Structures are given as structure tokens and as C-alpha cells.
Chains A and B, each alone.
Chain A
Amino acid sequence: MAATRTTALLRAAASSGCRLLSASRGVRGGWAAAASLGPSRLFHASARAPLSSEDKVTVHFINRDGDKLTAQGKVGDSLLDVVIDNNLDIDGFGACEGTLACSTCHLIFEDNIFKNLDAITDEEMDMLDLAYGLTDRSRLGCQICLKKSMNNMTVRVPDAVADARQSMDMSNNSLK
């Protein structure tokens, strides 16, 4: 499901964009209490400064159907933030909205990037362990924050089911 701008606002309200532990949350704008109350109806218009070139990080996502999606984020944004803010078309991504309660933001990294990621916490590993198609270069996107050194990295969205058939997009043949 592609995300919308409103989802981006919800995400801004619910996360700091980086390294969330469900137990302790650093939250933009002090919405910590609300963030732990589950399906919150908060719309926090986070005022984001326009991206300067120093801040920007380009990330390429290889989607399940092989399509390459390229997007930009800011240093410190999580990969979940990048997917949501750019409305990337990845089915079912980020179901729990970055609260370490699912593994739908599972991503596979290149070797050299993976080696330099911040250490995984028990909480992340607990959820990652449940991900389908786990590899030794897997992490949860909601816990990985952009660094300058990640500029132009490529991450792969793993298949979600054993016999993943290509998503059939009917929009080109639709008017039958």
C-alpha cells in the first residue's frame, strides 16, 4: 500500500525517525504519551527545513517485482520514513508504523553497508527473527537511520511469501 502525506504526518507524530525501542521513545514534538496509546489520531505538522545537499541521502529500493525505486531522505531519517515520505509503492510496508511490533519493514542490505550499520538491539532482533526470508544481511527499516555514507546505497525488499507472484497491476488493462 502506498502511503500518503497524511501517513507521513502520523509518522512524524509517532516517531523520532530513528532507533525506536518500543519501551522508550524519543519523539519529535513531545508526543511520547500519545505515541504509546496505539492508533492515535494525531496530525502533527512537523515543520521540516528544506533539504540542503549536505543533508540529503539517496537510497535505491529494489522492489519485490524487480522495479527500482529511488528516493531521498535526510540524514537521521529512518528507512521507514523514506518509504512513507516518498510514498513508495511497497505493499504492506511498515504496518506497525515503526513501533517494533511487526517485521513488514524487513530490508536486505549490501555487504559493505550492512557491516557498518549501528548494532542491532535485542528488541529489533526479536521482531526481525519473525521476518520471512531472513538473511544474514537483514535489518528492519524502521531502525536504520540514514547516514551520509549510505548515499546511493541499494536495499532490497524481500519477498513476503513463499510463492510470491508478481503483483498484478490492472491499471493498464483496466478498462475491460
Chain B
Amino acid sequence: MSRAGGILRWRRASALRSSLPSGALAGERPPSGAVLFSGNKRLLSTAKTEPRICIVGSGPAGFYTAQHLLKHHKLAQVDIYEKLPVPFGLVRFGVAPDHPEVKNVINTFTQTAHSDRCSFYGNVTVGKDVTVEELQKAYHAVVLSYGADDNRTLGIPGEDLDGVYTARAFVGWYNGLPENRDLKPDLSSETAVVLGHGNVALDVARILLSPLEILQKTDITEDALTALARSKVKRVCLIGRRGPLQVAFTIKELREMINLPSARPFLDPADFKDLGEAVKDLPRPRKRLTELMAKTALEEPGEVVSGRWLSASKEWSLKFLCSPLEVLPTADGKQARAIRLAATRLEGSGDAAKAVPTGDTEDVMSGLILSSIGYRSLPIDPAVPFDPKRGVIPNQSGRVLGAPGLYCSGWVKRGPTGVIMTTMNDSFDTAQSVLEDLQSGALDFPDAKEGFGSVRSILQSRRIRPVSFSDWEKIDAAEVARGKLAGKPREKIVDPKEMLELIGP
């Protein structure tokens, strides 16, 4: 096997596994003392020359950071740790089941994982099974890319009543996230209220309103399908504190809602009739988004759409300038019955506008309230600085402040907003910081580090069985096979125990 000039072309394992360089099976390392050819020079590699980098989290942030590191440093060894037995984070557990194209990035992540300088270690909870301090001893750099496991809370009375759920948990539930598999949301209310005007709010509304025939062909979990088949939800009201010019959702997702078969949009003309002047000078993206809402509110649709709306059995609406005050309970005090809202007005304009209560209130009757007001990160380990107010790891260009050798990328770095592409760019940015520091001597490089070599024994002593990428591929194959029987792309396994049983000891 020859490798020219330290340039290792990592190959993607095709279904036929035909194109791997001999002796370099995915996930294996070249034996120490392997010879690297550089043109006519023969150089012995030793552990000294290989930077070993650890990435915590295998969602888009983790994988894009890994990708950039592997591409721009031809000797870097990158290990990706993940607390679940399965990789890909929000691409698997956050992206809606009816948005499969968005999940195409899994292909490029799989390619990265197949690099012989990249290893995946699932079923390892950093902060519990291995500490960040232990990782720092083993690696030249540790990149925290573990995202946002928690959510912002409403902080209102009645928030804990039955029938009130966070959108994060609801999305986790229909996407098979193990921790939400027992959510058992009560879908017997005819009216559902979603608090929030972002893309997650639209996702949740769309899943509640989509015809079953469409959902049945996606990778939504079987449990969710069963529950949705029994759902009584006929109307979804999406409520936001601010106005139409402050909506956080984007136009493609809005268009999708407007075009939903069998669900009719209700946008109040009063919310839009005075916007004309304000819209004129907006940047194009905001302008088009606002114009689409206004058009839906103010104009008569064409014949085909009219017909569809008239025969629609379900509906959704946007409600603005209302802030949640309290969830009102049923007589027995256990369940949500309605939500009390404070009417607000805006102070300021544009993105910076703030909602201020006017003193008026309004009640909306509903037994199903989904709070979609934002995700939030949690601290992972005492060794990692964390800003609890902003919910991020304090950093500059991905370098954790006050903690040399620690980096962060993705939502835990800049906050829980943005699409996969935003995270991609920010991960490349963090990877650049790592590369610069490797070169400048800011890290303990080129001193040798053992990487997984020393972590392995720690995990063994704690009885943790790491899941490799090829283990994941067994789980993947099983899910796809089960899905085939049901006419779905996959049937997700939602119990981590079942996943571990499948791959064996």
C-alpha cells in the first residue's frame, strides 16, 4: 500500500466495499511504526507525529468538525464520542420525518466515519463514563459538540399539567429519541396550541395535521403513527409573543404549511393590512416571507386552492402579540384545559422588537399545549466552563475561554439556532482554530498522546461497551430491513438496550 506525500485519500466504503486500500479497513489504524512514503523520502511515523483529537457529540457539529480536521491535516486522528449507541444527533432525531432530503448529509458523515483516521465510539457518555479531564490527558485537543439537550421553560403556572409538552420532547418522541419514547402525548384535544413561531413549531404543527398516508411512508416511529391515527386534533393554533415581522420560521417551511393537503390556513387580515410600508425596505428574505403571509391572509386564493380549503377537515392559524401567562387546569386540577395569554404590543422594530404586555388577556381553550420556545444546552462536566445565562460554553472562534486544549462547535458554541449549514460553517471555524493551535505549539503537540488507547481501559474498568461505526451499521441495516416490511425507509429502534443486544457483547 503506498501513500504519497502524507496525502491519504480516504475512501468511502461503497456497498461493495471494493475501493479500500488493502490493509486499511475502515476504523483500523495503521500499525505503529508504519512507513509513510513521501515521494522519495521514507519517514517513520511514530505516535509523536499524529495529532489526536477527540470530538464529543456525533451530530452535524461533531461530524463537520471532524471532516474539516481530517481534510486539512493529513495525519490527524479523530475520535468521535457519542452518548447514544447511534450517531448523527439532530439529523436523526430532530429533522422531521417528512423532510428526508435534509438528512442527505448523513451520506457525507458516513464517508467521514469510514476514513481510516476516524473512529466512532457510541454508547459513551462524556462527563459520566469518562471525564473531560481524562479525555484531555489522552488527546491533544477535545472539541465539545454535544448540542442542546434541554429546552427553555415558560416559567408559568400550570406548565407541568398533563397535556403540556415541550416541542423538544414531542419531536424526540416522533423521531424515536430513546429518552422520549414513553412520552405518550394525549392527542384527544380538538385544538392544539403551539407556543412559538419557529421552524420547530411548524414541524410540530405539520406532523399533527399531515394525512396519515403521507406519514406512513416516512421514518416516523410506529408508536407515533399509532397515536396520530387516534388523534382528535383538528386545529393547531401557533401563538407568538411578537408580530409577523418577527417570525423565526423560514419561507420554505411556511409554504409547506400553506400547501398542506386537507388543512386550511387562517391568517387574520388585521395582522397584515397595515404592513405595506414596513415591508418595502426589508431585505429580500424577510420581505418575501412577510409577503407570503400577507398574501395568504389578504388575498382570495385561486379556484383549486379555494376548493381544497373549503373541503379541508383541519386548520391551522397564526396568532400574534400574545404571551403565555398561565395554563388553566381542568376541574380535577390535573390536566390542561386552556391557556391564558397576555396581549402584547411591540416596542422597537425588526429583530430587536420587544413584546410588552398591554394589560389585556385572552383564553384559548385547549388540552394540548406544545411549548416551542427554544432548545438549551446543559453543562457537561465541571472541567468545562459554562455560561448558564446564555446556555453556551464561553469561547472565541471555538476556543474555550480559560481552558487551553478545549474547543467547542455547533449549538453549544453559539446557541441553539440555525440550520445544518450554519452549524457546518461554525464547525469549520472551530476546526480552523484547532489546526492553527496545532501548528503554533499552543497544544501539547508534537508530544505523544495515546488517544483511545488510554480511554479504552478506563471504559473497560467502568464496564462500558463502546459502539463502533460498523456496529451502528448493523443497527442501521436492521432498521432498514424492518422498515421495508412496513413500506418505510426504516423502522427506528427506540430502546438502547435493544440496540446493544443487536450488536452483541
A interface vs B, CB < 8 Å?
1-2, 4, 6-7, 10, 22, 36-39, 41, 43, 91-92, 95-97, 99-104, 122-123, 125-127, 129-130, 132, 134, 160-161, 163, 165, 167-171, 173-176
Contact = CB atoms under 8 A, between A and B. Distances in A.
B446 A10 contact: no
Interface in B1-47: 5-7, 11-12, 14-16, 19, 36, 38, 43
Contacts of A102: 102, 419-421
A92 B74 contact: no
Contacts of B429: 161, 163, 165
Interface string B306-333: 0000000000000000000000000000
Contacts of B421: 92, 95, 102-104, 130
B67 interface: yes
Contacts of B67: 1
Given A38-B489, A39-B103, A95-B105, A168 B12 contact: no
A1 B108 contact: yes
Given A38-B101, A96-B105, A170 B74 contact: yes
B455 interface: no
15 contacts: A4-B12, A7-B12, A7-B107, A7-B111, A38-B100, A38-B103, A39-B104, A39-B107, A43-B14, A97-B101, A126-B252, A160-B424, A165-B429, A167-B432, A176-B446
B99 interface: yes
A143 B420 CA distance: 20
Contact of B425 (A6, A134, A161, A171): A161
B255 A126 contact: yes
B106 interface: yes
B468 to A, nearest CB: 19
Contacts of B255: 122, 126
Interface in B209-257: 219, 250-252, 255
Contacts of A163: 397, 429
Contacts of B397: 163
A136 to B, nearest CB: 9
A137 B470 CA distance: 44
What 6 A-B pairs are tightest by C-beta distance, nearest first? Answer: A38-B100, A99-B101, A129-B285, A101-B101, A170-B73, A126-B252
A162 B156 CA distance: 38
B72 A130 contact: no
B68 interface: yes
A168 B105 contact: no
Contacts of A167: 68, 72, 428, 432
A160 B428 contact: yes
Contact of B251 (A6, A99, A129): A129
A125 B102 contact: no
Interface of B: 5-7, 11-12, 14-16, 19, 36, 38, 43, 49, 64, 67-68, 71-76, 99-108, 111-112, 219, 250-252, 255, 284-285, 288-289, 397, 419-421, 424-426, 428-429, 432, 435-436, 438-439, 445-446, 489
Nearest to A5: B19
B248 to A, nearest CB: 13
Contacts of A161: 425-426, 428-429
Contacts of A103: 421
Given A129-B285, A130-B285, A161-B428, A168 B439 contact: yes
B294 to A, nearest CB: 15
B285 A171 contact: no
Given A39-B106, A126-B251, A126-B252, A4 B74 contact: no
A24 to B, nearest CB: 13
B5 A171 contact: yes
Given A38-B489, A102-B421, A168-B436, 11 more contacts: A38-B101, A38-B103, A41-B15, A91-B68, A91-B428, A92-B424, A132-B425, A167-B72, A167-B432, A170-B72, A175-B43
